[in-house]
Amino acid sequence: MISVHLLTPFPDMVNAIINESILKIAEKKEMVKYTVHNLFSYADPPHHRIDDYPFGGGSGMIMKPEPLSRAIEESTKDVNPGDRVRVIFPTPDGKVLSHATSEELSKADRLIFINGHYKGIDQRIRDRYVTDEISIGDYVLTGGELPTMVILDTVIRLIPGVLNTYESAETDSFANELLDFAHYTRPEEFDGMIVPEILLSGHHQKIATWRLDNQLEKTKKNRPDLFKKYLEPKEESE
């Protein structure tokens, strides 16, 4: 069972997402346990401030180190020796998320997500605790909750047994080098549009070829960078 700790000033945002769909199913199947920490409850009374002005001046507020440090310590207090713990800070100045990173994180025993707000968090928290600084793309969101949920979703669905057939995660786009092929279901004709005949033929080899062609065509059009990589000769691994 993977233990996930979510540190946030907005617990409702996080709860809204972990209480539905795959993230919830994973919890019901006892494959994951979520603990949501409200950062305000780790801040000093009487004002319970979690942010302050930046040293050196400049615009925007910075999240104070003490509430974050206390919440991280609380999230790690019952870690067993040998447990693989990752402290993740979603941030636009991090490494861009990839399928490989999600796979790696899905093998951890404990994931701690720091949901940043305002202009950022005190660098000393990053220096002391954070193991993974992850960006979900070259754009800026208002807070860390949405990127955290994106990262978490990509990780949880990779835990064997969470999806009905692990296969359905293995054949996703990015699980291999090409984008996913087109999918169809009933009815065979919808509003004048028909399902490609090969898919109805029951001929497995022809279906596989059609799907690969479809993947190649889509990858070439939507992701020329991936297509180029796919065509490059593979390095021999010994």
Nearest distance, CB of residue 133 and ligand ADE, angstroms: 9
Measured CA distances, 157 to 95, 163, 169 (Å) = 21, 6, 7
Which of 27, 145 has the CB closer to ligand ADE? Answer: 145
- The residue within the footprint of ligand ADE, chosen from 136, 155, 159, 179 (CB under 6 A), is 136
Considering the rule CB under 6 A, would residue 215 count as an interface residue with ligand ADE? no
Contact 98, 92 (CB under 8 A): no
- The residue within the footprint of ligand ADE, chosen from 9, 11, 67, 147 (CB under 6 A), is 147
Considering the rule CB under 6 A, would residue 62 count as an interface residue with ligand ADE? no
Considering the rule CB under 6 A, would residue 141 count as an interface residue with ligand ADE? yes
Considering the rule CB under 6 A, would residue 93 count as an interface residue with ligand ADE? no
How far apart CA 238 and CA 110 sit, in angstroms, is 33
Angle between helices 224-231 and 204-222 (to 10 degrees): 120
Considering the rule CB under 6 A, would residue 101 count as an interface residue with ligand ADE? no
Q: Segment near ligand ADE (CB under 6 A), from 37-45, 58-66, 137-145, 209-217? A: 137-145
How far apart CA 24 and CA 15 sit, in angstroms, is 10
Measured CA distances, 220 to 61, 173, 177, 210, 225 (Å) = 43, 14, 12, 15, 8
Rule CB under 6 A: which residues touch ligand ADE?
90-92, 135-137, 139-141, 144, 147
